[in-house]
Amino acid sequence: MTVPAATRPSTQPDRHWQPKPSEPVDLSIVIPVYDEAESLPELYRALCETLATLPLRAELVFVDDGSSDGSTRLLYELFLSDPRVQVIEFRRNFGKSAALAAGFRAARGRIIVTLDADLQDDPREIPRLLDALERADLVTGWKAPRRDPWTKRLPSWVFNALVRVLTGIRLHDVNCGLKAYRAEVVREIPLYGELHRFIPVLAHARGFRVVELPVTHHPRRYGRSKFGPARFFRGLFDLLTVLFLTQYSPRPLHLFGWFGLAALGVGTIINGYLALQWFLGHPIGHRPLLTLGVLLMTLGAQFFLTGLLAELIAHSAPRQDYSIRHHYRHDHE
């Protein structure tokens, strides 16, 4: 597969900045790619047109997440033809969180922009994201209106509503692929599993300023969506993980303790009532209520023990539960 002539960068020396390893980069654009060979030439052309309007030294970081449709070869040809292009090739498909984590690790810019490779995110929105980043640490897009079938819009609406209720962050579209970050944001947020959906939530929990910007969204023109029903349910489990990481990771006993206290309290009341019945001469050995009371007290004790063990692990593990914006130092002689 060859790169269409319209997408090849000009050979003129002043066409674009030639990055060197020792030079700083202003802007890194990270693009996860998974079987998007049909859209890549047009995406690359649109990115080049957008970068030509920006007075920034930029690089393009493509992360090939185990593509099997020719995307790998096309990305390699882009790498050979444009010195601004970095390509990271995975051995197999590891998922979007892994692709973003690898891209963030390789990015050299003080500002990082992410977008999907399927042309539904519009590269022409990047200047607006950069302008909004002047008053924030992370700018996340809001696909308004969203150009997807209702089978994707409805689960997304339910998911975003749950995120707003459970986390308190007021975003319409927490999982939009089009985002702009200050570099310190991505350095402080570890990504694994499928936590890429919750980057704004994780950043907000660290004290970073998060704002939302309505952005243009296009219908999918090539290939097929990677969204499926299983992703919705995996997202719910990941939401529980994020709630634990952001609210209870430094104090796990506060989570397990409430469940333990509730179970132990109800079990104690039940067994106390049965003990009174036994003292009054009523047989209780055959009553299912006795089994329930003992079970609840046992569960309550187990929740408390689990919370205490989690506290010991959290106490002994090295961690940093704060994020520093500035450090002003006064040296004394």
Q: What is the pLDDT of residues 261-306, one digit of tens each?
A: 899 999 999 999 999 988 888 888 888 899 999 999 999 999 888 8
Spatial CB neighbours of 215, under 8 Å, sequence gap ≥ 6? 121, 122, 125, 128, 129, 141, 142, 143, 144, 176, 178
Q: Which of 137-141, 192-196, 271-275 has the lowest mean pLDDT?
A: 192-196
Q: Where are the domains of the chain?
A: 21-248, 253-315
Query: Would you tell me the crossing angle of helices 71-81 and 40-51 to the nearest 10 degrees?
Result: 30
Please list, in sequence order, all residues whose beta carbon lies within 8 angstroms of the beta carbon of residue 103, skipping any fewer than 6 positions away.
28, 30, 31, 32, 61, 63, 88, 114
Chain-wide mean pLDDT for the chain?
Answer: 84
Task: Say if residue 162's pLDDT is above 60.
Answer: yes
Largest CA distance in the chain: 100
- Cα distance from N-terminal residue to C-terminal residue, the chain: 66
pLDDT tens figures, 44-66: 999 999 999 999 999 999 999 99
- For the segment(s) 21-248, the CATH number from 3.30.360.10, 3.90.550.10, 3.40.50.300, 3.40.50.10490 is 3.90.550.10
pLDDT class of 331 with cuts at 50, 70, 90: low
**Residue 113 C-alpha from the chain's centroid:** 13
